[in-house]
Structure 1
Amino acid sequence: MRDLPSLNALRAFEATARLGSVGRAAEHLHVTHGAISRQLRVLEEALGQPLFARQGRGVTLTPIGEQLRDRVSDAFEQLREGWADLQRGRDDAPFVLGCAGSLLARWIIPRLERLEHELPTLRLHLSPEEDPLAPRHAQPDAALALAAPPWPPGWQVHVLAPERIGPVVSPRHAGLERLLERGIPALLDEELLHTSSRPQAWPAWARVSGISAESLHYGQGFTHLFYLLEAAVAGLGIAIAPAQLVQDDLDAGRLLAPWGFQQTDASWILATPRRGSDYRVDALAEWMRRALNA
């Protein structure tokens, strides 16, 4: 049986091939640029062929480099999945939940004490990810998201609750009395707060509410839904949001939803990578389903 090259050399190659740069591979593996280069030379000398060709500041794979990448990537993925399965088999292993920062701050954290009380054996580790369903090097055990079909490949999806969105405004908002008197058409004269993470939210709500989406006027924009809703609470304008994310504010009187909520084609989902079963997923999905539909 022929000897394999060193694991460090293969890790250096896999990182360089995936990231397209020796420098980025060095940062990812927390080693020097020279250390990565030396490991790559070990592989190239053993094969007698170059694995990379330089292109600008990055590198591209040669044909034999592409062949090695495919084999090494599959092998490392199997190792990662096998290790994850072994860790999940421990009752005391942390359960990593990925979710967008807005869902984390506005829905999970306010309910975290209750979740820990009702699921005491679940050692939850929260991982903020703006797109937890996006392909990446390390996947969480599960991802909480607002999404619409088709579901991303490689994930098993537990549908928790339908998404309902609607405009919300602070009781301190200037001109609130006039807005309430005129009803939904009054929104056509407002500069609406919006977020780049959900650009379709206002048009989708307008269409099902019987007003022209093209007639809406947009004011201040925000990169994240969390900032958008904080601006609305501060009385800076009218925002739009999923009902469950603002329910606590509605109950406390910090926000009003006088124009109602409309169901979209999206849902709250708990998605898990298709890499083996985990008994904790069903318990968490059921808990979230009850909390979202309460």
Structure 2
Amino acid sequence: MRDLPSLNALRAFEATARLGSVGRAAEELHVTHGAISRQLRVLEEALGQPLFARQGRGVALTSIGEQLRDRVSGAFEQLRDGWADLQRGRADAPFVLGCAGSLLARWIIPRLERLERDIPELRLHLSPEEDPLLPRHAEPDAALALAAPPWPPGWQVHVLAPERIGPVVSPRYAGLERLLECGATALLDEDLLHTRSRPQAWPAWAQAKGMAAQSLHYGQGFTHLFYLLEAAVAGLGVAIAPMQLVQDDLDAGRLLAPWGFQQTAASWILATPQHRSDNRVDALADWMRNALST
């Protein structure tokens, strides 16, 4: 049998090549930056050539590095898929659902008890991922997301419902009376709450309403949609959000949506890896379609 380099060294290389960063590879593999660097040196010394060159804050593959990546990445992907298939073959294997933290907190968790009651065989395990459709070291059985075509390669997409977005504001907001008197154009004079994860939301809504998007003014920004909506509920200003994520707040009177919602090019989707088959997916997609329509 021909000699192979250390499996740990190959794992360190594969993670660094995929993530473009020694530091991020160290985080993923739960080791130190120095440990990854040492493993990479083992491979470079064996080959007699560098595998990476520094590029800004990250690293870029050399020609020999690209050749090794092409061979190693496929092998590790087969190992991950094979291991995942063996785990799913267990009778008690949970169904792993990846979704952004905002969808998890504001839509899944309030409905989790009903979902588990309606589909008890699902044995749902929730995996928070800011973008569950991006390639990474562990695929979920399915991913719930708000996304627009073209769909990412490698996924089978079940479209659940169209996305509708609109401004929302707390009845406690100090400037609410003036906004209601002046109509939607009054928002052009507001310092609007916004999220950095979706900067196109306000411009898309304004354009749909026939308003000049470049005339919008932005106030406090938030990293995630969940924080944005908590700020709106606290009466800090006017935010924008998908209708289904604020419906519970609208029903309870915690938020108002006086200017309505506009459909976007995006949809709520449930995506599953194309190379996997699980008969629980159809039941979950049907349940979600029904829940999003009510």
Q: What SS is found at the alignment partner of 1:145? A: strand
The 5 A counterparts of 1:40-189 are 51=51, 61-189=61-189
Partner of residue 291, structure 1: 291
**Shift in CA distance, 127/188, structure 1 to aligned 2, threshold 3 Å:** same
Kept in 2: contact 1:81–1:275 (CA 8 A) = no
Task: Compute the displacement of 1:47 (Å).
Answer: 5.5
- Unmatched segments (≥5 aa) in structure 2: none
| 8 Å Cα contact 1:99-1:131 kept in structure 2 | yes
Residue aligning to 2:224: 224
Alpha-carbon separation, structure 1, partners of 2:227 and 2:278: 34
Q: Displacement, 1:292?
A: 0.4
Q: Quick check: 51-60 or 266-275, which moved more? A: 51-60
Distance 1:221 1:18, change over 3 A: closer
Asked if the contact 1:12–1:40 (Cα under 8 Å) also holds between the matched residues in 2, the reply is yes
Q: Distance in 2 between matches of 1:49 and 1:218?
A: 50
Deviation at 1:148, TM superposition (A): 0.8
SS at match of 1:107: helix
Out of 177-186 and 14-23, give the one that drifted further: 14-23
TM-score by length of 1: 0.88
* Cα distance between partner residues in 2 of 1:191 and 1:248: 25
Distance 2:33 2:239 in 1: 47
Relative to structure 2, which stretch is displaced further, 71-80 or 126-135? 126-135
Counterpart secondary structure, 2:131: coil
The letter for the 2-side match of 1:273 is P
Aligned in 2, Cα 1:76/1:173: closer, same or farther, shift over 3 Å? Answer: same
C-alpha spacing 1:45/1:121, structure 2 compared with 1 (3 Å) = same
The residue that corresponds to 1:277 in the other structure is 277
Per the alignment, do residues 43 and 230 of structure 1 end up closer, same or farther by CA in structure 2, a change over 3 Å counting?
closer
Identity of aligned residues (%): 88
Q: Kindly tell me the number of residue pairs found equivalent between the two proteins.
A: 294
Distance in structure 1 (CA, Å) of the matches to 2:213 and 2:144: 29
Write out per-residue CA displacement over residues 194-245 of structure 1, whole angstroms, 9 at most, x where no aligned residue.
1111211111111222222222222222111111111111111111111100
- Displacement, 1:276? 1.7
**2 CA distance for matches of 1:51 and 1:2?**
22
For residue 237 of structure 1, what is the amino acid of its counterpart? G
TM-score by length of 2: 0.88
Label 1:135 to 1:182 Cα distance change in 2 as closer, same or farther (>3 A).
same
* Separation in 2, partners of 1:277, 1:172: 49
* 1:127 counterpart SS class: strand
Secondary structure in structure 2 of the residue aligned to 1:121: helix
Alpha-carbon separation, structure 1, partners of 2:164 and 2:148: 12
Give the Cα–Cα distance (whole angstroms) in 1 for the partners of residues 193 and 38 of structure 2.
Answer: 53
RMSD (CA atoms)? 2.7
Residues 109-152 of structure 1 deviation map (CA, whole Å, 9 limit, x = unaligned): 11111111111111211111111112222222211111111111
Cα–Cα, structure 1 residues 128 and 24, in superposed 2: closer, same or farther, change >3 Å? closer
Q: Which runs of 5+ in 1 are unaligned?
A: none
